Amino acid sequence: MNRWLLFVLVSLGIAVPWKCADATGALDSTNASFLSFEVNYVSRTAGVGELKTIKNGSILKSGDHYKIVFTPDKDCYVYIFQVDSSGQVFQLFPMGSFRGVRVNQFNPVKQGKKYVLPSPDKAFLLDKKVGIERMYFIASSEGNKELESLYAELTAAVKRKNSSGVKDTRSKLNKYFRRRGIKVVPSKQSTKVPWRETGDVFSVISQRLENLSSDSLHKLEFIHK
């Protein structure tokens, strides 16, 4: 996956218990430790046909298309990263533009709003670089300054073509990801996922993320063949 367009993710619904602030910025004392939301990773073979679900260990192929859809239950911050088979790190959310088109996918995310990435009428594409692909979903009640700083550092090093700086910052980001973990609990809820390129709408099965804290994330790992 040499760019974030290179990845194919599939229908995986997620709800997350998470600490989050209310509209005034104060924590809700009745549910201070939890934030619930749904996240769906959805893909189609070459962008057509049946919608498929990606799970850990799933096998995807070059040329597959994918979207990410999530809806938070409260105003919070979400960060989504993909690490490709060569170790390159790409931020999929927040994202200002995709393939030269403004998509304006920014933090903080809003309660009850459905976010479709990269946009309702566009999809990511899995390229020809094969291997293990990893997706990391991170959420918090406030902006994650560490992650924001590290990705800004990586972006600057790439622009300067500073190979040692790129390698060092990728290593820092991967260490950050490895420090965290999450539990996934299946759910029987279903949600609709738009695929506007063809006008299709699909129903997919959701899952829940539980026991999420400021030191945890959701990791999805699949095989790209």
pLDDT over threshold 60, residue 218: yes
Q: Torsion angle, CA of 28/210/111/215, rounded to 10 degrees?
A: 70
CA distance linking residue 146 with residue 15, whole number of Å: 24
The answer for residues whose C-beta is within 8 angstroms of residue 203's C-beta and 6 or more apart is: 190, 191, 192, 193
**Residue bearing the bigger pLDDT, 85 or 186:** 85
- The residue with tokens 């597959």 is 64
Cβ count within 10 A of residue 23 = 8
Give the distance, in angstroms, between the CA of residue 44 and the centroid of all CA atoms in the same chain.
17
Beta strands in the chain (DSSP E): 37-44, 51-53, 59-60, 65-72, 77-83, 89-93, 95-98, 101-105, 115-117, 124-125, 131-140, 183-195, 200-210, 218-224
| Residues pairing with 28 in the sheet | none
The pLDDT score that the predictor gives to residue 120 is 85
The pLDDT score that the predictor gives to residue 31 is 46
Q: What share of the chain is helix, strand, coil (3-state, %, to 5)?
A: 15, 40, 40
Q: Using CA of residue 123, residue 126, residue 89, residue 185, what is the dihedral sign?
A: positive
- Provide the pLDDT confidence category of residue 174 given band limits of 50, 70 and 90: very high
The token pair at 27 is 């924590």
pLDDT over threshold 60, residue 104: yes
- DSSP helix/strand/coil, 182: coil
- Provide the pLDDT confidence category of residue 180 given band limits of 50, 70 and 90: confident
Question: For 64-74, what is each residue's pLDDT tens digit?
Answer: 998 888 888 88
CA distance linking residue 28 with residue 30, whole number of Å: 5
**Residue bearing the bigger pLDDT, 13 or 198:** 198
- Cis bond leading into 118, ω under 30°? yes
- Provide the pLDDT confidence category of residue 189 given band limits of 50, 70 and 90: confident
Percent of the chain at pLDDT above 70? 79
pLDDT over threshold 50, residue 54: yes
**Residue bearing the bigger pLDDT, 117 or 217:** 117
C-alpha pair distances (Å), 6 with each of 38, 65, 67, 83, 105 = 23, 9, 11, 10, 19
Give 97-121 as a DSSP string.
EETTEEEEE-SSB-TTPPEEESBTT
